[in-house]
Amino acid sequence: MTGALDVSVDRSSRVPLYLQVAQQLEREILSGRYPSGERLPNEVELADRLALSRPTLRQAIQALVDKGLLVRKRGVGTQVVGSGSSQVRRSLELSSLYDDLSAAGQRPSTSVTDLRTVPASAEVASALGIEVSSPVVRVRRLRSASGEPLALMTNHLPEGLVSLSVSSLERVGLYALIREAAINLRVAKQTVGAKVASASEARSLSEPKGAALLTMTRIAYDDRGNAVEYGTHLYRASRYSFELTLVDR
């Protein structure tokens, strides 16, 4: 690492030693002191420096690997892959990913991989409240943040609802275009889950095949109760998380 590793342990504390190390390393990474690509000293050196056993040190490193802040690479060692600017945390609100990334200073960019009118499948028809095989506009995009792929997004809209083009979809988010069409988004039903990446999904998102991906499906409704958009999105779990606030009633 470029600077001295500022980590110490308190053996009188009730906090497990591995967790003390993990928490301090996480603070250093999130502060930006150790940027993406920075390599940690090897585990033997780190364990000796901190007077810890290798299993304890390995547990601390694994905790940060699981959070997407570090990655182990054969022949390279352990590298920083996350920082305060690259980890995207998104509130569960009726908002556009493009707008959320812009507000967070993440420099969003979009590549439109498909834009066409197709017959609605049974799943899409049920979500939008229309007949099976009715024409719908299908949009598929790869969304990146700060130059790194972040999400694969597929959206279906009733035909004729909004005028869409590749250039407009690469310029702003889909919800901005819906609002420009004088459609007032009011409420959405959203489901969050997880899956493992297929080979093609992994290639698109720069993840290994079988990597964990977050999934999100959303049906958005306007102020008259009409379903205007059905989205199915995949996110890199190493770069993305959802946040929500729970209130005790």
SS3 per-residue string spanning 36-99: CCCECCCHHHHHHHHCCCHHHHHHHHHHHHHCCCEEEECCCEEEECCCCCCCEEEECCCCCHHH
151: confidence class by pLDDT, cuts 50, 70, 90? very high
Q: Which fold has domain 88-243?
A: Chorismate lyase (3.40.1410)
Please say if the pLDDT value at position 122 is more than 80: yes
pLDDT for the residue numbered 2: 46
Across 79-106, average pLDDT: 61
Per-residue DSSP letter, 237: T
pLDDT for the residue numbered 20: 85
Please say if the pLDDT value at position 85 is more than 60: no
pLDDT for the residue numbered 246: 53
pLDDT for the residue numbered 241: 67
Window from 36-45, 81-90, 129-138, 140-149 with minimum mean pLDDT: 81-90
Q: Any idea where the domains of the chain sit in the sequence?
A: 17-80, 88-243
Q: Tell me the per-residue pLDDT of 204-227, one tens digit each, with 9 for 90 and over.
A: 999 988 988 999 999 999 888 899
Task: Report the C-alpha gap between 32 and 27 in whole angstroms.
Answer: 9
46: confidence class by pLDDT, cuts 50, 70, 90? confident
Across 105-129, average pLDDT: 92
Tokens of 33: 């002191």
In this structure, whether the domain defined by 17-80 belongs to CATH 1.10.10.10 is answered with yes
242: confidence class by pLDDT, cuts 50, 70, 90? low
pLDDT for the residue numbered 84: 44
Question: For the chain, what is the mean pLDDT?
Answer: 83
Question: pTM for the full model?
Answer: 0.62
Across 74-88, average pLDDT: 66
Q: Tell me the per-residue pLDDT of 7-23, one tens digit each, with 9 for 90 and over.
A: 788 888 878 888 888 88
95: confidence class by pLDDT, cuts 50, 70, 90? low
Give percent above pLDDT 70 in the chain. 85
Please say if the pLDDT value at position 60 is more than 70: yes
Please say if the pLDDT value at position 124 is more than 80: yes
Window from 20-24, 43-47, 64-68 with minimum mean pLDDT: 64-68
Q: If we measure between CA atoms, which residue out of 130, 110, 104, 109 comes closest to residue 119?
A: 130
Q: If we measure between CA atoms, which residue out of 163, 160, 161, 178 comes closest to residue 94?
A: 178
Q: Are 197 and 213 in contact (CB under 8 A)?
A: yes
Q: Are 6 and 24 in contact (CB under 8 A)?
A: yes
Per-residue DSSP letter, 135: E
